Amino acid sequence: MSVTRSRIVGCGAYLPERRVTNHELAGRLDTSDEWIRTRTGIGQRHIAAEGEKTSDLATAASRDALTNAGMSPDDIDLIVLATATPDLTFPASATQVQANLGIAHGCAFDVHAVCTGFIYALAVADNFVRVGQSRGALVVGAETFSRILDWNDRGTCVLFGDGGGAVVLTPGEGEGDSGDRGILSTHLHADGRQRDMLYVDGGPSTTQLAGHLRMEGRDVFRHAVVNLAEAVDEALGANGLEGRNVDWLVPHQANRRIIDAIARKLELPPEKVVMTIDRHANTSAASIPLALSEAVHDGKIRRNQLVLLEAMGGGFTWGSAMVRW
């Protein structure tokens, strides 16, 4: 039987040039490399240059993804940009990416699900592709969280970084083995009752200012482990798989201890988990496409392998995607 699935045919990444180490932060805050590393696994983060916007990061990652897919901007008829740090309140930063790439056809919009944003955007684009509404979709996660951090709050500012990642989706049709390749499932969740545990204390219709990120770290941690464990079970169950069938776990990179807990639950050894948190910190919606891009270009993720993506973020939102590469 012929199955139409969306396939990821190219991945791309962009990280701002400036790297800020834990030691540098310890020079201006009451913190230490040792505290940050043991609690989170983070060693450094990239920070966007002055004037470097989310759409710039997204555009660079998109260009990289298009090159790796062997496609041109003309082949793209859908851009879904996951971001919680848009250039402006409107228009959508996706339209700036579209203009930067010289595309004047198709549609472009932002999706906002904070750290789960890339999974949400992937699910939306996957549905467009599978119903035939898109022949070439750019799914991008890009963030400049450095702009919404309270740099005097050591409990949050050490955790995040800036970056952009992108994938290109096309419809894949075929029989047997090749027909099974592509996005096998996506599952999305939200529970708005938990929105006060992780939020930004500003916005156009409340303070008219962008605001700063606020978080109840311990509660977020506790919910993340529970919700992500349920999300991976759901993805495995929907596909008739077990944890040991997964070749690669590509998790949202929020905290090494959260990632380790999920890997243990799946009974996956550390070498099957793509880990970038040490170098990128938490880049919110960009973290999964950045990690995917790195793992593909390092030759880790290969054709026909099973790749499980999962994320959780403010809202709370959480979700998963199972991909046969």
CB of 269 to ligand ACO, least distance (A): 23
Handedness of CA 48, 51, 52, 55 (dihedral sign): positive
Give the residue with the Cβ less far from ligand ACO, 96 or 276. 276
Judged by phi (left if over 0) then psi (alpha if -120 to 50, else beta), residue 70 lies in left
Continuous H helices in the chain = 22-26, 33-40, 54-69, 93-100, 117-130, 154-157, 176-179, 217-238, 256-266, 277-280, 287-297
Give the x-and-dash track for 275-294 against ligand ACO (CB under 6 A).
-------x------------
Give the Cβ contact number of residue 161 at 10 Å: 31
**Residue 155 neighbours by CB under 8 Å, 6+ apart:** 215, 217
Give the x-and-dash track for 170-209 against ligand ACO (CB under 6 A).
----------------------------x-----------
# residues contacting ligand ACO (CB under 6 A): 23
Contact status, residue 68 vs residue 12, Cβ threshold 8 Å: yes
Give the Cβ contact number of residue 50 at 10 Å: 6
The answer to whether 24 contacts ligand ACO (rule: CB under 6 A) is no
CB of 128 to ligand ACO, least distance (A): 26
CB of 71 to ligand ACO, least distance (A): 31
For residues 44 and 177, give the distance between their C-alpha atoms in angstroms, rounded to a whole number: 41
The answer to whether 4 contacts ligand ACO (rule: CB under 6 A) is no
CB of 315 to ligand ACO, least distance (A): 10
The answer to whether 70 contacts ligand ACO (rule: CB under 6 A) is no
Instruction: Give the residue numbers annotated as catalytic, written as ranges.
Output: 115, 252, 282
The answer to whether 109 contacts ligand ACO (rule: CB under 6 A) is no
For residues 22 and 45, give the distance between their C-alpha atoms in angstroms, rounded to a whole number: 8
The answer to whether 317 contacts ligand ACO (rule: CB under 6 A) is no
Find the binder of ligand ACO among 80, 108, 115, 137 (CB under 6 A). 115
Give the residue with the Cβ less far from ligand ACO, 36 or 65. 36
**Residue 186 neighbours by CB under 8 Å, 6+ apart:** 119, 122, 123, 126, 319, 320, 321, 322
Give the residue with the Cβ less far from ligand ACO, 220 or 235. 220
CB of 280 to ligand ACO, least distance (A): 13
Q: Is 29 exposed, middle or buried (0-12, 13-18, 19+ CB in 10 A)?
A: middle
Give the x-and-dash track for 140-169 against ligand ACO (CB under 6 A).
--------------xx--xx----------
The answer to whether 255 contacts ligand ACO (rule: CB under 6 A) is yes
Q: Is the peptide bond before 118 cis (omega within 30 degrees of 0)?
A: no
Hey, what amino acid is at 305?
Q
CB of 255 to ligand ACO, least distance (A): 4
Contact status, residue 223 vs residue 305, Cβ threshold 8 Å: no
Give the x-and-dash track for 37-66 against ligand ACO (CB under 6 A).
--xx--------------------------
Give the residue with the Cβ less far from ligand ACO, 4 or 31. 31
At 110 the three-state DSSP class reads strand
Q: Which residues bind ligand ACO (CB under 6 A)?
A: 31, 35-36, 39-40, 115, 154-155, 158-159, 198, 215, 217-218, 220-221, 224, 252, 254-255, 282, 312-313
